[in-house]
Structure 1
Amino acid sequence: MGPAAGWIQETTGTEVAEAFKRNIKGKTILITGVSPISLGESTALAIARHGPAKLLLVSRTESKLQHVADKIAKINPNVKVDLIVVDLSSQTDIRTAARKVFDLTDRLDVLVNNAAVVTSARGETLEGIELQFGTNHIGHHLLTSLLTPLLIAAATASGERGTTRIVNVSSIGYRLSPIRFHDHNFEGKPIPSEEEPPKGIPAHMKPDVAAGRPYYGFTAYGQSKTANILHAVALKEKFLSKGIQAFAVHPGSIWTDLSRNLSAADRKIIEGTSTFWKNQDQGCATTLAAAFDPDLCDAEGPFLSDCHLHDVAEYAKDQVIAENLWQLSEKLTEGKASL
């Protein structure tokens, strides 16, 4: 029985990284969404203490990346850190960033898809995809597909099944919505009942086309977080035989800079959703467990919370739904995982 057996919601990323420091040492790790006051920052700092070969830090703002890199230099000046600026709402930007990653490394041991956006108002990516779905899932789907050769190279070199990992930072907020295959863009198109928000979601917290409200930010966020889990399901199915393991995680309830685009009313709603709020260090613990816990090498479940495997609703783990989402994602990225 590994150290995770005793971990609870108060467990910190510092503790998890210390427990798995042998699994971190010498690894090449890429983390998206790295900026001050973020889970990306706390994840990077916890890893940096234990001698990774290289950290590739990805975000849309160079100055914010540099701020985190400066902190890493103080913690462990021997860690090689590369900064990659990318806007995950631009597929052109993602392809450019992926080419840079190939220039910087010939292998990738761990990919942490951490970046996200949550917003009250409807927006779109440069390709016209609803912003939260397009950034939180489609952007990471494309980036992961482009970087898969580097992950396969790492898995082949290690020869250890399941130690090469992809970790999608999802949320328990997935419970707000399944994938809306008939209206993923929230354009007011009719959808079947199984794509509606689950029963029990208050009427004021979901779209209402008849009332002239085809979009609701939390429903869109829920769809994107369901997509993060299903992406892990599909990745596990497609690549575990090649030595690559995949998970999605709920980091816990935590205030970060992610909430900056929410309305005052939506921020108030979030304030009432938890009785325990994690700090930054506690918030990255489950991500680190998913990335480095050797007991998870052959785990079948796709989802972790508080460092342990947790079950999810059928619509977030069904293999057929996961494959349907994969096909939609390929269509929305033109099915081209080429640089």
Structure 2
Amino acid sequence: MSSYTRETDGDQIASDLSSTIKGKSILITGVSPGGLGAEFAITISKHFPRLLILAGRDVKKAEQTAAKIAEVAPTVEVRTLKLDLASQSQVREAAQEVNAYKEPGYIDVLVNNAGIMATMPYTQTVERIESQFGTNHIGHFLFTNLIMEKLIGADGSARTARVVNVSSDGYRLGHVRFDDWNFDNGTTYNPWRAYGQSKTANMLFSRSLAAKLADRGLISVSLHPGVILDTNLSGHLDASGFQGLLEVDRQQGNRKYWGPFKGKTPLQGVSTHVFASFHDSIMLTNNNGVYLEDNRVFRPEEVLTWGRDDIEAQKLWKLSEELVGEKFLY
């Protein structure tokens, strides 16, 4: 499919795909400085996208990223958007703002990058959903569906858009707990198993979007950016926090993860973001709904069944609709 490797950085892939990035309108969630969303936005800004919409819970931090983009790509239009994925009412406000945009008429790429990881102690969202599941999946599920007409259009006209859900190989840590997504309101909570559940949900959400909307021109994939230890996602974790990760991997028999992590730089980390968002190979029919790592599509046998099962994806869609109190029929 490509000659890219795990060491390839985002700048190289963006340069190779510069003509595809040019003129695109892209919305990115989770864009605080020091995170992969900001790194991705800055990387692609150098290739003349039409518009970058930077969505985050803290607008001031989004504005800091916008200021950095203005330094490296002063001609690119940038907007900031308040998006608190832990509050469904605020997600609805953000979606209403996006839908009210006169220009652009369409969003070409939505990158659901925002997320939290292995948070302690146990907390819940405004709607009393375990925070990692509620923020990483349910918030994105609601936001994406509410702005769907910006992606695929309302008139049935043929166009192509992409939804890229940033998951993690941490999906190995937990399937979706359909009968107990809240970990018995915290009494059985393990931060890494909860993280795994949310990342599995990201993968299944992409499969559902692909199954439901491929005939409307929507492409949706999920990805693992790699282990990037020097970002704000893991800044709250100390040695004991990562020891907890090792313990779960040992309990589950994930032997390949018992050794030391082989990390990436942030710029290497966003390379798969760029690849998934713009590479032509993702347009292939059999690649819709797939999972990527290291700038390549993983074969089904490389993905644990709970991260690619279409029945599980259907069950998750139904549960997600119940948790947001709205059905999305396509």
The normalised TM-score by structure 1 is 0.86
Q: Which residue of 2 aligns with 1:62?
A: 59
Q: 8 Å contact 1:35–1:68 — kept in the other structure?
A: yes
User: For residue 249 of structure 1, what is the amino acid of its counterpart?
Assistant: L
Q: Which residue of 2 aligns with 1:28?
A: 25
User: Percent identity between the aligned chains?
Assistant: 41
Q: Which residue of 1 aligns with 2:147?
A: 147
Instruction: Tell me the number of residue pairs that the alignment of Structure 1 and Structure 2 aligns.
Output: 309
How far apart are the structure 1 equivalents of 2:154 and 2:239?
45
Q: Which residue of 2 aligns with 1:199?
A: none
Q: Which residue of 1 aligns with 2:68?
A: 71
How far apart are the structure 2 equivalents of 1:153 and 1:81?
22
Map 1:42-191; keep pairs closer than 5 Å: 42-104=39-101, 105-118=104-117, 119-153=119-153, 159=158, 163-187=160-184
Q: Which residue of 2 aligns with 1:224?
A: 198
RMSD of the TM alignment (CA)?
A: 2.1
Q: For the structure 1 residues 336 and 321, does the alpha-carbon distance in structure 2 shift closer, same or farther, using more than 3 Å as the test?
A: closer
User: For residue 260 of structure 1, what is the amino acid of its counterpart?
Assistant: G
Q: Which residue of 2 aligns with 1:195?
A: none
How far apart are the structure 2 equivalents of 1:323 and 1:251?
25
Q: For the structure 1 residues 312 and 155, does the alpha-carbon distance in structure 2 shift closer, same or farther, using more than 3 Å as the test?
A: farther
The normalised TM-score by structure 2 is 0.89
What is the aligned counterpart of 1:285 among 271, 286, 299?
271
Q: Which runs of 5+ in 1 are unaligned?
A: 189-206, 208-212
User: For residue 281 of structure 2, what is the amino acid of its counterpart?
Assistant: D
How far apart are the structure 2 equivalents of 1:154 and 1:9?
38
Measured after TM superposition, the shift of residue 47 of structure 1 is 1.1
Measured after TM superposition, the shift of residue 187 of structure 1 is 0.5
Q: 8 Å contact 2:170–2:195 — kept in the other structure?
A: yes
Q: 8 Å contact 2:50–2:76 — kept in the other structure?
A: yes
User: For residue 109 of structure 2, what is the amino acid of its counterpart?
Assistant: V
Q: 8 Å contact 2:219–2:288 — kept in the other structure?
A: no
Q: 8 Å contact 1:39–1:283 — kept in the other structure?
A: yes
Q: Which runs of 5+ in 2 are unaligned?
A: 247-257
How far apart are the structure 2 equivalents of 1:47 and 1:152?
22
Q: Which runs of 4+ in 1 moved over 2 A?
A: 103-106, 153-157, 260-264, 267-275
SS in 1 for 2:184: coil
Q: Which residue of 1 aligns with 2:189?
A: 215
Q: Which residue of 1 aligns with 2:235?
A: 260
Q: Which digits, 9 at most, give the CA deviation of each residue in 1:298-325, with x for residues without a partner? A: 2145100001011311111111110000
SS in 2 for 1:44: helix
How far apart are the structure 1 equivalents of 2:149 and 2:323?
21
